[in-house]
Structure 1
Amino acid sequence: MIPNTTFCAFILSFISIFLLKPFFKKPSKTKTSLHLPPSPPALPIIGHLHYLGPSLYKSLTKLSTKYGPLLYLKLGVSRCLVVSSASVANEIFKTHDLAFAERPSFPFSDKLPYGSSGFFVAPYGDQWRFIKKLCMTELLSAKQVEKSRVARHEELVRFLLKVLESAKKKQTLDMSVEIMKLTNNSTFRLAMSMRSLDEPHEAERIRKLVKESNEVGAKACLGDMFGPLSKLAFWLYGQRAIDVTLKYDEILERFLKQHEEISNERENEDLMDLLLKAYRDDKSEFKINRIHLKAFLLDLFLAGVGTSAEVGREGDNVKVNMQVGPGITKPMAKPLICLPIVHFNPFTSSI
């Protein structure tokens, strides 16, 4: 075990190097001035992080109201633009989409099992363009989403029947677990024509796994904001990130093998069938491998499940009695105030 004094000395030395680095930096010969959007006053090291509160959208709305629809923020060493105008967003995503297509690399992604194989973290290039084209034309097309309407309706009916059954029995119900099951089963039926969380322990395992991955990802990204501290973040949380990815890999590999065993017994193609077809196509413009398959499924999984896993976070200690359930929502409601609106009558020339 490292003594406390040694650990503190290591941290202080690391931070000192970070603080003194600008003084030893050689001035660049060519200095280009960037015409950046308006920006609030920043603090050393942290930049504009102190402006961001627990409700991120409220903090950004407050800043945009004061500084305009296009706002420049510096979060540690990371620079970003905040766009709160529909016309500006349209210009960025359509007119100048190639200029904004590149994205920063995810912290220590090269050391993780999937690396940059996922669509979310892949750099702009052949792989990213191929997966995007596949999503737009096949995987997430309107036709494919329409095919999943029956499955989504069935899962929603199961969820509502479960809530109704608990209400009749006057039992408490863990809504976070049920919403997790609803989202997971809908996602997996869309992707692989199978339900994933029929067992309660499996739902809880997935929920804990998503929660852990969110925590590790947040800490890793926070370390990445402070430049040299990204190495310290990997030293502290890198192994946890690898372990979480391997746990996901075990689940995804199991579902993938189950899907391959029954793929010939179905008539309708699901998302996994389309991915496997691209995987087996030797003439494809970009050759995807099994890692790409599982990385894409992980992106889909986290996007569909990650938000529902957070439902119970704020209300983990709240129990809802189904008999008096409305009582917990009434304080959140605000009465509507109806005000008379004066109209102009052109025929009487009066108001």
Structure 2
Amino acid sequence: MADSTSYLLYIFLFFFFTILLHYLFHRRSYAPRRPPTPPALPLIGHLHHFSPSVYKSFHNLATKYGDLLFLRLGRVPCVVISSASYAAEIYKNQDVNFSSRPKFAFGDELPYANAGFFAAEYGDYWRFMKKLTMTELLSQRQVERSRGVRREEMLKLLRKLCECGEKKEAVDLGAELVKLTNNSTCRLVMSTRCSGDDDEAEKIRLLVKETFEMASKVAFGDVFGWPLERLAFWMFGRQARDVTLRYDEILEKILRQHEDRGKREGLDREDRDLMDILLKVYQDHNAEFNITRTNIKAFLLV
């Protein structure tokens, strides 16, 4: 028992001093004119300023240090804005400078982890997908269609609440609102519900739940960097790949169904969804940018 305790202590000290040395000798240099920042601690940065009520912590920091402040969450530097004027400056005037996203610790080792739009670096693909999102995915036609889908799902929820009220049965309103949001989103994306009584919806629901649980574990390595990022991949990398491949199986099945329907009825029909729009671009060889099936599935996965 004493030997086991000693080994664990040696392992802990090894990781502690490795991280400490990495922090001391490999710290990134930031521009001297950075926004105001609260006191930080080694390794964890400003994480000690946060309580379980994260939004209250951000509000307290903004009240004390201003609407623009610099924070370091573990190894991750970030700038926090708390005013509409700063938000307009970043998203309108400086949008190119803030377009790229930091890479995941082991994104290259996961199926299509870097193929999605939201994690893509600024470039031809990012610009094309942004243009497509603004002109097609968020067009007036799609917004009008979303209104009808939301209405149907809302009426379904209200009918269930009325039925439970007549039977004097308790209802978990929080769970029902989550179902409402999930089903509205999934119907607009790929014309299927992802929260319901059928096997396919239950499979998607469990996958989403498992993804959130896994992401919280993997984020530990992203926040604290090497060597913990490699430790996180060693512990949870296989699970991450497994979850992604199960998503891929479901999305590929739905993608083929949309392709078959597109051959029969066309991809420009009135009730087209997000997957139909992306499929039309995928099949257009003269498009400004040729996206792949992997790009489509990665976009839908996020």
Residue 65 of structure 2 is matched in structure 1 by: 67
Aligned residues with identical type, % of pairs: 52
Once the two structures are superposed, the pairs formed by residues 136-151 of structure 1 within 5 Å of their partners are 136-151=134-149
TM-score, normalised to structure 1, is 0.77
Distance across 1 between alignment mates of 2:256 and 2:30: 54
For 1:1-351, what aligned pairs fall within 5 Å after superposition? 6=7, 8-21=9-22, 33-228=31-226, 229-263=228-262, 264-265=264-265, 267-268=269-270, 269-299=272-302
What do residues 156-208 of structure 1 show as CA deviations (whole Å, max 9, x unaligned)?
11111011111111122344543343223322321233444442554444333
Runs of at least 5 residues in structure 2 that lack an aligned partner in the other structure: none
- 8 Å contact from structure 2 (residues 195, 205) kept in 1: no
DSSP 3-state at the match of 1:104: coil
* 8 Å contact kept, 2:19–2:43: no
Contact 1:180 1:207 in 2 (8 A): no
What's the offset of the Cα at 1:22? 5.1
Q: Check whether the contact 1:151–1:186 (CA below 8 A) recurs between aligned residues.
A: yes
Q: What TM-score do you get using the length of structure 2 for normalisation?
A: 0.88
Report the AA paired with residue 288 of structure 2. E
Post-superposition Cα deviations, 1:259-296, rounded to whole Å, max 9, x if no partner, equal 22223337313222211110011111211111111111
Which ranges of 4 or more aligned residues in structure 1 deviate by more than 6 Å? none
- Kindly indicate whether the alpha-carbon contact (under 8 Å) linking 1:138 and 1:274 is maintained by their aligned counterparts in 2: yes
Rounded to whole Å, the distance in 1 between the matches of 2:9 and 2:287 is 54
2: CA distance, partners of 1:222 / 1:15: 15
Cα distance in 2, alignment partners of residues 22 and 183 from structure 1? 42
SS of match in other structure, 1:79: strand
Q: Is the 8 A contact 1:177 1:203 kept in 2?
A: no
In 1, are the aligned partners of 2:214 and 2:236 still within 8 Å (CA)?
A: yes
Alpha-carbon distance in 2 for matches of 1:176, 1:8: 44
* Root-mean-square deviation over aligned CA pairs: 2.4
Pair 1:24–1:54, CA change in 2 (3 A): closer
- 1:288-337 alpha-carbon deviations (Å, 9 max, x no partner): 111111111112xxxxxxxxxxxxxxxxxxxxxxxxxxxxxxxxxxxxxx
Q: Which structure has greater helix proportion?
A: 2
Mapped to 2, the partners of 1:111 and 1:236 lie a distance apart of 14
Contact map agreement 1:190 1:271 (CA 8 A) in 2: yes
Separation of aligned partners in 2, 1:4 and 1:127: 52
Matches of 1:32 and 1:241 in 2, distance apart? 33
SS at match of 1:88: helix
Q: 1:89 to 1:175 in 2, by over 3 A?
A: same
Shift of 1:112: 1.1
Cα distance 1:68–1:248, how it changes in 2: closer, same or farther (>3 A)? same
Q: 1:11 to 1:148 in 2, by over 3 A?
A: same
SS in 2 for 1:148: helix
Q: What code does the residue aligned with 1:155 have?
A: E
Alignment: residue pair count: 294
Following superposition, the deviation at residue 24 of structure 1 comes to: 5.4
DSSP-derived class of the 1:150 partner: helix
For the residues of structure 1 that align with 2:23 and 2:175, how far apart are their CA atoms? 49
2:224 aligned counterpart, secondary structure: coil
In structure 2, the CA distance between the partners of 1:246 and 1:33, relative to structure 1 (3 Å rule), is closer
Which stretches in structure 1 are left out of the alignment for 5+ residues? 300-351
